[in-house]
Each structure stands twice: as structure tokens, then as C-alpha cells.
Amino acid sequence: MNIKNISILFLLFLVSVNCDITGDIKCQFSTSQPCDATDSDYATCLNDYNNYQNCLGNKNCSSITQSKSDYISCCQKCNSPNPKIQQYINSYLNCLNQAYLTISTGILAILVALI
């Protein structure tokens, strides 16, 4: 393997790490928040949302310290009886899965091109 290929692989590694972190942030901001202050059940919704966030913390779910697939698996362990919160969770996980698939496909395509 020559120096050019090693350099390209190193750059791919750096890009994939950056995409993991930015993919999570993108999904957090692109997934619409489940609780609307104008809803009659706003306080209950906010409490359920906080319970979901606490669950992520209690299970040590972290997009920074875990691989993308481990983070997604960890997030899947936290559910909510509130349909609005569960819809938010499902949308967030779908976004993460799509970001993960995009990164994996891009890296695979570049690796195949190198061969």
C-alpha cells in the first residue's frame, strides 16, 4: 500500500468521525420537538420528554463516546408511553440510521474505488 492510499484512508477515518458527531447534531436539530407550548398537555409532554432524556443519561447513551451503531442501540432502549415522545424518538432514530447508512455507503464507495 503506497503513501497515497494510506493518506486517503486516514482522511476517510477523520471524515467518518466528524460525520458521526455532526450527523447526531443534525438529527437533533432536524427532528421537530415533540412538545408545543400551546398544547393543553404541554406540562405532561415536557415531563415525558425529560424522562426520555434522563433514560439516555442513565443508560450512558452518548454519540461522542460510543460508535454510531452502539449509540443507536442504546437510544432504542429508551421508550415513552407518550405517543408524541415516541414519534419523536422514532423520527430521531430514523434520522440517525439514514446518516449512518450514508456515511457507510460513502466510505465503501471510496474504498472500492481505491481497489
pLDDT digits (tens, 9 = 90+) for 83-92: 999 999 999 9
Q: How many CA atoms lie within 13 A of 36 on its CB side?
A: 5
Range of the domain at 50: 3-114
Domain count, the chain: 1
The pLDDT, as a whole number, for residue 24 is 67
The pLDDT, as a whole number, for residue 64 is 75
26-43 burial code (b ≥16 CB/10 A, e <16): ebeeebeebbeeeeeeee
Regions of the chain where pLDDT drops below 70 = 1-2, 4-24, 99-115
Helices (H), the chain: 3-30, 42-58, 68-76, 83-114
The pLDDT, as a whole number, for residue 102 is 55
